[in-house]
A and B are shown apart, each in its own frame.
Chain A
Amino acid sequence: MRYVPHTKEEIKAMLEAVGLRNVDELFSDIPTEALLKRHLQVEGGWDEEQLRAYFRKAASSIPDANSAVYFLGGGVYDHYVPSAVDKIIALPEFYTAYTPYQAEISQGTLQAMFEYQSLICELTGMEVANGSLYDGASAVAEAVLMAMRINGKRRVLVSECVHPDIIEVLRTYQLGQDFEILTLSQKEGVTDLSELEDLSNVSCLVMQNPNYYGFLENMNQASELIHKAGGLFVAAVDPLSLGVLKSPHEYGADVVVGEGQSLGNHMSYGGPHFGFFATKMDYIRYMPGRMAGQTVDVDGRVGYVLTLQTREQHIRREKATSNITSNHWLMALASAVYLSLMGGSFPELGQTILNRSTYLAQKLASVGYPLWHRQYFFKEFPIKARDAEAVQEALADSGYYVGPVIDEHTLLVAVTEKRTKEHMDKLIELMEGLR
């Protein structure tokens, strides 16, 4: 297959117009030593049917959510994606456009970004949001860097109950920056806030709710403690939980970030998803990433532009608030479509998920898989098992998937709105049989 439209005659005519005899002369500015004197050893040159056969063969052997039943969690979930979401983000005018640098012919992207920002603000109760970041973990890292820009303090408190990827990514970003990471330990599945002692020079506290184990944290207390110490409260949340769980605004979060996959994005073996980022108006000039703003055109018509670009790398270069350029806009667009379709049902959606997870946790406890700790949860919870990996592997043979495994005797179980009573009863039956 080739996607170049040139005919032989055209190539000849074009070379002539440039004043060259052959295509080799197009590369005469490359030193001979650097020229590749052979073809790339890359297999290919296939037609569409060959491509289909190749990829279909690989895809067909994997137990995906269409052929297996997932109770998998750990940050990525098998949530319901309405058909309309996939259709909208497949519109070529959306997905084949670049970043909206020419605003006059990018109003579709820009208005949708403005609406996405508004929806994220409504959901979190915050005042401003950007147009997305790469994922939840890098959004936390950016939030921490922003907190340090705001208050100039160089110590960061992170709960051990946040997703391990968040801590890992934060430690990676730390390699380039001079700051200290202090961790708060886990006690009975939640953050031990009694440990907070020396809070001097602490820039921010990072908590996740529900936390990595699925348990609900005492966000009110955490917020009070860090604010008393003069630091900022960074809350990583599951946006889908906010139809029923306290909004970050209610417990006084200063920066709200998180993984947006649960809002209308497919699991995609872990990516692409997107990270959302919301904060207070006071901090808008410290924010990383792109943002759409409303304005008017020369005729007075309402329109949208990328705004506050003076924070960004293409203007500020080494003084930018972040190096981020491309974000994960198409995934954020999927979430905007999703929230438009499902936003009105969010209390109902939260309620049904909570009922399902509660049902499954109780039943599993009754057949010998008790909760790891007695804590409240939303859609995901850890259970105890004699051999967690053996349970996971045995269930997999029946097309049922649980996990990830936390340690030898503990594994996570997640329940989304796609899991019916029938799925759950079958899982309970299978697991009872494994004891």
Chain B
Amino acid sequence: MMNSRKGTLPLLKELHKSGRRGPQVPVSGLEDRPVSDILPKEFLREEPLSMPELSEVEVVRHFVNLSNLNYGVDNGFYPLGSCTMKYNPKINEEVAAWFQDIHPALPENRVQSLLELLYILQQDLLEITGMDAITLQPAAGAHGELTSLLMAKAYFKDHGLLEKDTVIIPDSAHGTNPASATMAGFKVITVKSDEEGLVDLEQLKTLVNDHTAVFMLTNPNTLGKFEKNILGIAQLIHGVGGLMYCDGANLNGMLGWARPGDMGFDFVHLNLHKTFSTPHGGGGPGSGPVAVKKALEPFLPKPVLVKAEDGNGSYHWDYDRPRSIGKVRSNFGNILVALKALAYIKSLGGAGLREVGTMAVLNANYMRVAMEDTLPTAYPGLCKHEYVATAEEVKKRYGVKAQDIAKRLLDKGFHAPTMYFPLIVKEALMIEPTETETKENLDAFVQAIKEIVEEAATNPDVVLSAPHDTPVRRLDEVKANKELKVRW
């Protein structure tokens, strides 16, 4: 649990005492000769290695005490928009760990049961997305985007469509979309959002032409809105031979209710660490599988996991993929993360997955309506898994900004919403409760927001100088950038 300790801890380096040791190096039963008897001097280290020398108990206490300065989903409500911070079931961690001591070079015939699990996960994800083929290789959502765009590149090259050099992205999109498009060698064009917070269809029509390679769309979008013109948009893009890409970061908002494959998307990446409950680990590892329609299947990264059609139904990694873009990482993917997602899917089943989508949307709408009088939604009306509130009015009236409200929420025991995103909303607070939160928690959060806005009116200083009760208070980011102390 978070404690009221003030400040951070002494660094490991400061705990160093020459001659202290942690766990013993495993014994071999051999007499060890000096390294200089085995290797010539030119290969050997001369500069002394200066690592902190510590005992096991010191190391354990250091990191346990550090963990006490952190806040995770297991500590409390974490309504970080677009990040889907749902509860991470413990059973997933337990069963996945049973596969942690397997080497990836084990011959295929020795890992059939594991390959079967991965194959089942692939089939389940295809059913969930309405797609035809899939890779588990990408390490994270952004990696899935890059993989997809490189596949698009290969697809257009294969079709001799070299003029396809542009990716269109809404102004409400995650920053990864344009960054991935650039890495994949595409030009980026931005399309505006309309007054409802949806893609501006009229502007889109003027931007789409023979150069249009891919339209990257997050659906539901980052305002939590379902792009209700999706079928028309897909028709428009397909009309010029372009591809429809779904950023699946927000799949939780339609899980079990609608599928990217049924609304015109040609490919989609999933964030197993969002929709499928695998933990974020303080910033990874995630997992970003990419599911595609038939036309894109030849371009999937290799190897592709296939089931033999020879009757014995064995599984195997297929490297014989002449049109594949190649590997996007070493080995096969973040396998342990994939297994946690499979455990989650198997705990829920089809009906349970739909219930997740339902309750995620119910929770978001319940909070949206309850907050409307205090911090209004930037784009009113029904939302999916999240919504974006604006503190513009509070700022105008009391000089209290979205960031101040966020920091004050930390004092009240909550994680803050995503701030200042999407960029099109002034003083944005993007709120995603997820389906695993109780009504009591939602009510308590709304109450906290009300109290903070009241404080903004009566005692703004307490908000402006928040947080007060955290291990450290507001940090000097300018100094950090200027002085750049990034190591001891």
Q: Are B45 and A340 in contact (CB under 8 A)?
A: no
Given contacts A41-B127, A249-B47, 16 further A-B contacts (CB under 8 A): A29-B228, A55-B339, A104-B410, A108-B70, A109-B283, A114-B11, A119-B52, A220-B42, A269-B111, A272-B284, A295-B479, A310-B481, A333-B282, A344-B54, A359-B30, A404-B105
**16 A-B contacts (beta carbon < 8 Å):** A30-B228, A42-B349, A55-B117, A56-B95, A66-B101, A70-B103, A93-B71, A102-B410, A104-B474, A108-B69, A109-B282, A172-B327, A175-B184, A347-B49, A351-B35, A354-B35
Q: Nearest-CB distance from A424 to chain B (Å)?
A: 9
Q: Answer whether residue A280 sits at the interface, using C-beta atoms and an 8 A cutoff.
A: no
User: Which chain A residue shows the least CB distance to B7?
Assistant: A301
Q: Answer whether residue A78 sits at the interface, using C-beta atoms and an 8 A cutoff.
A: yes
Query: Chain B residues near A131 (CB, 8 Å)?
Result: 283
Q: Nearest-CB distance from A286 to chain B (Å)?
A: 14
Q: Answer whether residue B393 sits at the interface, using C-beta atoms and an 8 A cutoff.
A: no
Residue from the list B8, B74, B112, B473 in contact with A302, Cβ < 8 A: B8
Residue from the list A308, A313, A350 in contact with B484, Cβ < 8 A: A308
Q: Are B435 and A42 in contact (CB under 8 A)?
A: no
User: Which chain A residue shows the least CB distance to B407?
Assistant: A104
Query: Chain B residues near A244 (CB, 8 Å)?
Result: 35, 39, 44-45
Distance of A127 Cα from B486 Cα, bound (Å): 9
Q: Are A96 and B472 in contact (CB under 8 A)?
A: no
Q: Nearest-CB distance from A85 to chain B (Å)?
A: 9
Distance of A66 Cα from B280 Cα, bound (Å): 28
Q: Nearest-CB distance from B17 to chain A (Å)?
A: 10
Distance of A51 Cα from B117 Cα, bound (Å): 12
Q: Are B415 and A272 in contact (CB under 8 A)?
A: no
Q: Are B49 and A346 in contact (CB under 8 A)?
A: yes
Report the tally of A-B residue pairs with Cβ distances under 8 A: 695
Distance of A48 Cα from B9 Cα, bound (Å): 39
Given contacts A176-B183, A298-B465, contact A329 B281 (CB under 8 A): yes
Choose the segment among A132-140, A193-201, A226-234 that binds chain B (4+ C-beta atoms closer than 8 Å).
A132-140
Shortest 10 CB-CB distances between A and B: which pairs?
A270-B331, A44-B349, A343-B51, A330-B281, A270-B104, A96-B72, A421-B29, A341-B22, A108-B70, A272-B285
Residue from the list A1, A28, A41, A105 in contact with B348, Cβ < 8 A: A1
Q: Are A136 and B330 in contact (CB under 8 A)?
A: yes
User: Which chain A residue shows the least CB distance to B346?
Assistant: A44
Q: Answer whether residue A45 sits at the interface, using C-beta atoms and an 8 A cutoff.
A: yes
Q: Answer whether residue A100 sits at the interface, using C-beta atoms and an 8 A cutoff.
A: yes
What class of interface size applies to chain B in its complex with A? 35 or more
Q: Answer whether residue B201 sits at the interface, using C-beta atoms and an 8 A cutoff.
A: no
Given contacts A172-B328, A342-B23, contact A39 B351 (CB under 8 A): yes
Given contacts A340-B12, A401-B103, contact A355 B28 (CB under 8 A): yes
Given contacts A104-B467, A115-B12, A165-B331, contact A59 B39 (CB under 8 A): no
Q: Answer whether residue A384 sits at the interface, using C-beta atoms and an 8 A cutoff.
A: no
Residue from the list B23, B42, B327 in contact with A341, Cβ < 8 A: B23
For A364-403 the 0/1 string (1 means CB < 8 A from B) is 0000000000001000000000000000110010000101
Q: Nearest-CB distance from A412 to chain B (Å)?
A: 9
Q: Answer whether residue B239 sits at the interface, using C-beta atoms and an 8 A cutoff.
A: no
B-side interface mostly:
loop
Distance of A18 Cα from B358 Cα, bound (Å): 14
Query: Chain B residues near A91 (CB, 8 Å)?
Result: 63-64, 67
Distance of A404 Cα from B406 Cα, bound (Å): 52
Query: Chain B residues near A315 (CB, 8 Å)?
Result: 175
Q: Are A45 and B98 in contact (CB under 8 A)?
A: no
In chain B, positions 436-453 with a C-beta closer than 8 Å to chain A are 436-439
Q: Nearest-CB distance from B404 to chain A (Å)?
A: 13
In chain B, positions 51-77 with a C-beta closer than 8 Å to chain A are 51-54, 56, 59-60, 62-64, 66-75
Residue from the list B175, B465, B477, B488 in contact with A317, Cβ < 8 A: B175
Q: Are A36 and B334 in contact (CB under 8 A)?
A: no
Q: Are B176 and A269 in contact (CB under 8 A)?
A: no
Query: Chain A residues near B188 (CB, 8 Å)?
Result: 317-318
Q: Are A36 and B262 in contact (CB under 8 A)?
A: yes
Distance of A418 Cα from B27 Cα, bound (Å): 8
Q: Are A299 and B473 in contact (CB under 8 A)?
A: yes
Q: Are A356 and B28 in contact (CB under 8 A)?
A: yes
Q: Are B70 and A61 in contact (CB under 8 A)?
A: no
Given contacts A103-B475, A294-B480, A323-B179, contact A62 B106 (CB under 8 A): yes
Choose the segment among B83-91, B306-314, B394-402 that binds chain A (4+ C-beta atoms closer than 8 Å).
B83-91
Choose the segment among A4-12, A152-160, A181-189, A426-434 that binds chain B (4+ C-beta atoms closer than 8 Å).
A4-12
In chain A, positions 55-92 with a C-beta closer than 8 Å to chain B are 55-59, 61-66, 70, 72-76, 78, 80, 82-84, 87-88, 90-92
Query: Chain B residues near A310 (CB, 8 Å)?
Result: 481
Residue from the list A5, A44, A103, A165 in contact with B350, Cβ < 8 A: A44
Q: Are B366 and A104 in contact (CB under 8 A)?
A: no
Query: Chain B residues near A249 (CB, 8 Å)?
Result: 47
Q: Are B66 and A112 in contact (CB under 8 A)?
A: yes
Q: Are A138 and B328 in contact (CB under 8 A)?
A: yes
How many chain A residues touch B (CB < 8 A): the figure is: 209
Q: Answer whether residue B191 sits at the interface, using C-beta atoms and an 8 A cutoff.
A: no
Distance of A323 Cα from B184 Cα, bound (Å): 10
Query: Chain A residues near B149 (CB, 8 Å)?
Result: 176
Residue from the list A40, A106, A307, A344 in contact with B127, Cβ < 8 A: A40
Q: Answer whether residue B292 sits at the interface, using C-beta atoms and an 8 A cutoff.
A: no
Q: Are A58 and B325 in contact (CB under 8 A)?
A: no
Q: Answer whether residue B78 sits at the interface, using C-beta atoms and an 8 A cutoff.
A: yes
Q: Are A30 and B345 in contact (CB under 8 A)?
A: no
Q: Are B279 and A303 in contact (CB under 8 A)?
A: no
Q: Nearest-CB distance from B229 to chain A (Å)?
A: 8
Query: Chain B residues near A98 (CB, 8 Å)?
Result: 78, 80, 83, 85, 280, 282-283, 415
Given contacts A42-B350, A298-B474, A356-B30, contact A95 B69 (CB under 8 A): no
Q: Answer whether residue A314 sits at the interface, using C-beta atoms and an 8 A cutoff.
A: yes
Query: Chain B residues near A225 (CB, 8 Å)?
Result: none
Q: Are B262 and A82 in contact (CB under 8 A)?
A: no
Query: Chain A residues near B431 (CB, 8 Å)?
Result: none
Query: Chain B residues near A307 (CB, 8 Å)?
Result: 477, 480-481, 484, 486
Query: Chain A residues near B139 (CB, 8 Å)?
Result: 134-135, 138, 271-272, 328
Q: Are B256 and A137 in contact (CB under 8 A)?
A: no
Distance of A94 Cα from B283 Cα, bound (Å): 10
User: Which chain B residue shows the least CB distance to A331?
Assistant: B285
Distance of A295 Cα from B482 Cα, bound (Å): 10
Distance of A136 Cα from B99 Cα, bound (Å): 21
Q: Are A95 and B285 in contact (CB under 8 A)?
A: no
User: Which chain A residue shows the least CB distance to B476?
Assistant: A295
Q: Answer whether residue A407 sits at the interface, using C-beta atoms and an 8 A cutoff.
A: no
Q: Answer whether residue A150 sits at the interface, using C-beta atoms and an 8 A cutoff.
A: no
Q: Answer whether residue B356 sits at the interface, using C-beta atoms and an 8 A cutoff.
A: yes
Q: Are B28 and A84 in contact (CB under 8 A)?
A: no
Q: Answer whether residue B254 sits at the interface, using C-beta atoms and an 8 A cutoff.
A: yes
Q: Answer whether residue A420 sits at the interface, using C-beta atoms and an 8 A cutoff.
A: yes
- Most A-side CB within 10 Å, residue of B21, B32, B47, B480: B480
